[in-house]
Structure 1
């Protein structure tokens, strides 16, 4: 039964990941989510149902449009696969619990802002405003620990990023995003998430520069690393922090 549910959750994540790609790509461009239907951005041919299977259609077409042969961005299958795998992780980690529901929402927000930030270097206010009331309602119901820790997490999340945003090193969208994420994971997890985001961003960014994926001084979006750090802190924050404190204690 567990295997059946896990498979279902993964497939659901793949399907939703396809929709999250659409949201992340169209909302920053101020395009409708419904019109036009999914199409090749090069030849404008409307995609058929067989072209819309998450990940599998991309693999079967070898990463090319089946109608004009233009290469399709790997962002599409990566967003779909990431959502499917992260949904599976949330289910295995938390099950169908309140914390699991918050986890699914965190994954959904993370994938959307990652797609948008990678494509446009922009985190849309509309996306954050959609998730804000959901978290405002659900966090008091399901988050463990004092609610004051979540409020402190929101304040710290915004304040940690705000100086960098004012100095031009990051965008205000990053500050708003991390304030929202900090309100979900609370204090002290928000500190851990920030440190993890900086570590991941520095290591991966350095590797990208080393291998010529990006050029030196080329801006690198930080939203994906804030999201990644938040998910790690959400899943393993208590363990990481307690382990660290026991080592230095």
Structure 2
């Protein structure tokens, strides 16, 4: 899976410097995917190491405007923190920290889409699991894999999804 994602990144982004950020995101998400599915844990050490790498990358390759990284990280942290409080622990601390890092890396608009998609994918898979009795209601499922899929989808296809959505609204 990692190899396929690494090969697909230049096909989707082109051979730009942003490709370095994409490959770093893929590397982070592959670790998180395996860890969260296996242990229901997003390790703080992994998120912290990648936070340092992404900080360097965004200093060299800033988003436009440059402060969108900071705003994305702050919005992501507080939104997920609020959800964790309201849901009384339905959202884990690792998910909060991971999404704060995602918000920093991809910026505000792409984070909001990635959050929506991760939630949508998670609800769909969880619903299918309940429907086919593969899981039970109220039983926690790892959210990290859905964060990974939702973020990569939003990261690569944000403009296309937004364009389709706006054209859909114009036709209504």
Shift of 1:198: 0.7
Q: Across the two proteins, how many residue pairs are aligned to each other? A: 168
Give the 5 Å matches for 1:148-163.
148-163=67-82
Scaled by the length of structure 2, the TM-score of the pair is 0.91
1:129 aligned partner = 48
Which residue, 189, 196, 202 being the options, matches 2:123?
Answer: 202
SS at match of 2:108: coil
Which residue, 176, 179, 188 being the options, matches 2:97?
Answer: 176
The answer as to whether partners of 1:189 and 1:234 remain within 8 angstroms in 2 is yes
Judge which range, 198-207 or 95-104, deviates more. Answer: 95-104
Give the 5 Å matches for 1:57-72.
none
Structure 2: give runs of 5+ residues left out of the alignment.
none
Higher-Rg member (1/2): 1
Divergent runs of 4+, >3 A: none
Give the 5 Å matches for 1:78-97.
82-97=1-16
Structure 1: give runs of 5+ residues left out of the alignment.
1-81
> Would you say 1:237 and 2:129 are equivalent positions?
no
The answer as to whether partners of 1:189 and 1:237 remain within 8 angstroms in 2 is yes
1:110 aligned partner = 29
CA RMSD of aligned residues (A): 1.4
Scaled by the length of structure 1, the TM-score of the pair is 0.64
SS at match of 1:219: coil
CA spacing shift, 1:113–1:187, aligned 2, 3 Å: same
The answer as to whether partners of 2:18 and 2:61 remain within 8 angstroms in 1 is yes
